[in-house]
Homo-oligomer: A and B are copies of this chain.
Amino acid sequence: MISTKARYALRVMIDLAQHQEDAYIPLKDISARQEISEKYLETILRLLVKGKLVKGLRGKGGGYMLTRKPSDYSIGEIIELTEGPIACVSCRLPDAQSCPRKEDCITLPLWEKYDALVHDFFFQISLEALIEGSF
């Protein structure tokens, strides 16, 4: 399941995209609009800043701002940044140890195909498309 953190992150990105101007947008505003606690949003925005999806500025007049155009973000990267790599089974995670059954595992091709499907779905949709509803 997509975690709350990733879902909130998406809403934050949408919020920032929809209030894009020259000014930085303070966390307080996002929190008020999205009805998510400031404290929890902080942890999410820290991830987004660390991953360079948004930039933050401190002090008066500070806040957050997108680093790219909404059309240049994929939904997939936002999800992966906040909750780690998308993989349907543990043996397909990047850091998984090689499975001894790998060679004749009947289910492996199923998981591979599923992962590809999911990956394609999320990485082919842009933040802009999500907002426009054109996907």
Q: Which of A's residues lie within 8 Å of B, judged by CB?
A: 1-2, 4, 7, 10-11, 14, 75, 87-90, 106-107, 109-111, 113-114, 117-118, 121-122, 125, 130-131, 133, 135
Chain B residues near A14: list those with CB within 8 A. 106-107
* A1 in contact with B89 (CB, 8 Å): yes
A14 to B14, CA, bound (A): 44
- Asked if A7 and B89 make an inter-chain contact with CB atoms under 8 angstroms apart, the answer reads yes
**Docked complex Cα distance between A106 and B14 (Å):** 8
Beyond A11-B106, A110-B130, A117-B118, 12 extra complex contacts between A and B, CB < 8 Å: A1-B87, A1-B88, A2-B88, A2-B89, A4-B90, A14-B106, A14-B107, A75-B110, A113-B135, A114-B118, A114-B122, A117-B121
16 contacts between A and B (CB under 8 A): A1-B88, A1-B89, A1-B90, A7-B107, A10-B107, A11-B106, A11-B107, A14-B106, A106-B130, A106-B131, A109-B133, A110-B130, A113-B135, A114-B122, A117-B121, A118-B118
Residues of chain B contacted by A89 (CB below 8 angstroms): 1-2, 7
Contact B107 A125 (CB under 8 A): no
